[in-house]
């Protein structure tokens, strides 16, 4: 029988407070819901509905914060600690996602993506890391990256470049904070079916994605939340510096995706076809 006990030498405590940036958004809220089943959660978001979203969770607070503003971010973090105690799990789910062709991507767009997707992550992880090291506690740092951080896509100059930097940041943190029992990983979703994606992807774009994804569908926010929760567990304490792609096989897709999908559809058949074959 395999024991569920962690080795004594690796059993530093992870404080049970979770901070989720972008917590009022579709992915951030799904993650907060999942992690909030047995932890206290703080949602930090620029949206004016963050307190309302937090009120829908059993044990959560919501704080409005401009993540691009260092003073606002610092204030929000300190308020979370004041109200809920030490933060052990930090999930950076906030993201700027404007899509522009390279020649139309101006500096303001590029810098906004970097400010929200990378610089805010650096600041919130550094704040929590300083406190965890001082307290002698372990921690779980998780960023919601994207397949765009590992694979170029049309119109993703600012977004994809910032997500690539975010993936590297998590590797850097894993190296330097690993000796303190703090893990750092990225979850990289492919296309996810949210209100945002439904509003911003045309029917042609959705069809193009589905032709490229071996599972032939968009992901669900809950599937991203499940992967994030896995990396936040005490038992995931030996996983660090990794990027977990939650993408329906998008990153592995190459030639022949639609051929494979068509072959699978033929082999599955319809009930009528199955009866005919029999």
Determine the distance from the C-alpha atom of residue 108 to the mean position of all C-alpha atoms in its chain, rounded to a whole number.
Answer: 24
Q: Which of 74, 80, 25 is nearest to 53 (CA)?
A: 25
Q: Which is the catalytic residue, given 77, 159, 209, 250?
A: 159
d(CA 62, CA 54): 5
Whole-number CA gyration radius for the chain: 20
Would you state the structure tokens that stand for residue 138, as one six-digit string? Answer: 């372990």
Is 180 one of the annotated active-site residues of the chain? Answer: no
CA-based diameter of the chain, in Å?
70
C-alpha distance from residue 120 to each of 68, 88, 141, 169 (Å): 6, 18, 13, 11
Residue 222 is encoded by which pair of tokens?
A: 């809950």
The catalytic site residues sit at 159
């Amino acid at each position: 029988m395999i024991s569920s006990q962690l080795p004594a030498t690796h059993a530093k405590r992870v404080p049970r407070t979770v901070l989720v940036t972008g917590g009022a958004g579709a992915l951030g809220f799904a993650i907060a819901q999942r992690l909030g089943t047995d932890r206290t959660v703080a949602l930090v978001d620029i949206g004016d509905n963050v307190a309302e979203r937090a009120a829908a969770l059993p044990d959560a607070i919501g704080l409005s914060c401009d993540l691009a503003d260092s003073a606002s971010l610092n204030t929000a973090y300190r308020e979370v600690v004041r109200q809920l105690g030490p933060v052990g799990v930090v999930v950076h789910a906030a993201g700027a996602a404007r899509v522009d062709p390279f020649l139309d991507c101006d500096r303001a767009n590029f810098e906004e993506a970097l400010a929200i997707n990378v610089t805010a992550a650096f600041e919130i992880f550094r704040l929590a890391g300083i406190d965890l090291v001082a307290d002698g506690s372990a921690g779980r740092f998780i960023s919601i990256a994207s397949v765009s951080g590992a694979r170029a896509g049309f119109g993703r100059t600012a977004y994809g470049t910032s997500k690539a930097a975010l993936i590297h940041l998590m590797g850097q943190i894993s190296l330097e904070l690993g000796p303190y029992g703090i893990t750092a990983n990225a979850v990289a979703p492919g296309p996810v079916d949210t209100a945002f994606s439904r509003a911003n992807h045309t029917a042609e774009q959705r069809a193009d994605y589905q032709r490229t994804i071996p599972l032939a569908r968009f992901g669900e926010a809950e599937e991203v939340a499940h992967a994030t929760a896995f990396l936040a567990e005490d038992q995931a304490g030996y996983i660090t510096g990794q990027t977990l792609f939650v993408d329906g096989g998008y990153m592995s897709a190459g030639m022949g995706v639609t051929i494979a999908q068509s072959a699978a559809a033929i082999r599955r058949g319809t009930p009528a076809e199955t009866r005919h074959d029999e």
